[in-house]
């Protein structure tokens, strides 16, 4: 099943600020949503997490930033890799003792996206936990969590059986519409991007004025929260999901999450280098 290309975002209509040419290092597409100062603030926050060995926050923010800008260089050296692996091993032991693998799985996923060269094997207990969670979310009709868990499972194992049938498709579609009606645009964009990655054929109606304005307002709200509190995780996640929606293709393969961006217009190529057509995570 394919995502409906007629429902893709019009990035020019949703843009909050004019792009900062060249300065941020971001593609033209992403400069529509993140100005140079905001991107610098996010990088500074990421650097502070790294300097303080706060790997939990580093991985969460870094994962979003890596998807937004695949060419970003975190400068992770051997010492940092060792420290990250030690932290993940600590989380593995904690998860084993508590029989709750959700945090460990998310951190492992983030590490895999940040640097695919870091050898990550979540292990049998963590994989079984994901399978149990997927079944539980399906049984109770928590389709937002179901979609996110299905993606996690497939990134760790592209051949995993995630059970995308008519029941799951209808459940996610109805949940998406519920988010729209309630004006919960953060959750709406999150689920919409998951639906696209999972290849579900549904019209998410992004071209409607209400959706455009709601998404634009949420973008500004998330940015203002980041400015006020110095916490850029929600903003990064929201922009990450927007990128997935404006992508020409977003899918999970045996190489991870692969995103293909539309080719940039020739008139812009002289100002800003185009994003490589395909990146894998």
Per DSSP, helices labelled H in the chain are: 11-14, 28-31, 36-51, 55-68, 78-98, 102-114, 124-140, 143-156, 166-182, 185-197, 209-229, 233-246, 266-269
What pLDDT, on a 0 to 100 scale, did the predictor assign at position 11?
42
pLDDT per residue as tens digits for the range 147-204: 999 999 999 888 889 999 999 999 999 999 999 999 999 999 999 999 999 999 887 7
78-108 residues labelled b (16+ CB within 10 A) or e (exposed):
eebeebbeebbeebbeebeeeeebeebbbbb
Average pLDDT over residues 19-37: 67
Determine the Cα–Cα distance for residues 169 and 162; give it in Å rounded to an integer.
12
pTM higher than the cut 0.85: no
More confident: 67 or 264: 67
Judge whether 136 and 163 are in contact, CB under 8 Å. no
pLDDT per residue as tens digits for the range 109-128: 999 999 888 888 889 999 99
Sheet holding 249-253, edge to edge: 249-253, 256-260, 278-280
Domain hosting residue 64, numbered range: 5-280
Burial class (CB in 10 A: 0-12, 13-18, 19+), 176: buried
Determine the Cα–Cα distance for residues 253 and 266; give it in Å rounded to an integer.
30
Q: How far is CA 38 from the centre of its chain?
A: 18
Query: Rg of the Cα trace of the chain?
Result: 18
The owner of tokens 């996640």 is: 237
Determine the Cα–Cα distance for residues 195 and 203; give it in Å rounded to an integer.
10
- Overall domain count for the chain: 1
What pLDDT, on a 0 to 100 scale, did the predictor assign at position 25?
57
């Amino acid at each position: 099943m394919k995502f409906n290309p007629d429902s893709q975002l019009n990035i020019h209509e949703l843009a909050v600020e004019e792009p900062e040419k060249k300065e941020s290092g971001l593609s033209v597409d992403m400069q529509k949503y993140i100005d140079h100062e905001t991107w610098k603030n996010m990088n500074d926050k990421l650097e502070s997490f790294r300097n303080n060995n706060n790997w939990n926050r580093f991985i969460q923010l870094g994962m979003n930033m890596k998807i937004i800008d695949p060419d970003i260089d975190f400068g992770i050296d051997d010492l940092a890799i060792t420290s990250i692996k030690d932290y993940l091993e600590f989380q593995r032991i904690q998860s084993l003792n508590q029989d709750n693998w959700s945090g460990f799985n998310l951190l492992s996923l983030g590490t895999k996206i940040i640097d695919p060269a870091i050898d990550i094997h979540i292990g049998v207990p963590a994989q079984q936990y994901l399978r149990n969670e997927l079944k539980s979310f399906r049984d109770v009709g928590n389709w937002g969590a179901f979609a996110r868990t299905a993606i996690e499972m497939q990134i760790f194992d592209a051949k995993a059986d995630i059970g995308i049938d008519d029941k799951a498709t209808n459940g996610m579609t109805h949940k998406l519409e519920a988010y729209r009606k309630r004006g919960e645009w953060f959750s709406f964009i999150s689920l919409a991007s998951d639906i696209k990655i999972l290849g579900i054929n549904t019209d998410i109606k992004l071209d409607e004025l209400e959706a455009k304005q709601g998404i634009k307002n949420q973008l500004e709200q998330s940015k203002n929260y980041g400015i006020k509190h110095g916490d850029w995780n929600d903003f990064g996640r929201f922009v990450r999901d927007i990128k997935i929606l404006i992508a020409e293709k977003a899918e999970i393969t045996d190489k991870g999450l692969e995103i293909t961006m539309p080719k940039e217009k020739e008139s812009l190529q002289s100002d800003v280098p185009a994003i490589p057509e395909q990146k894998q995570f």
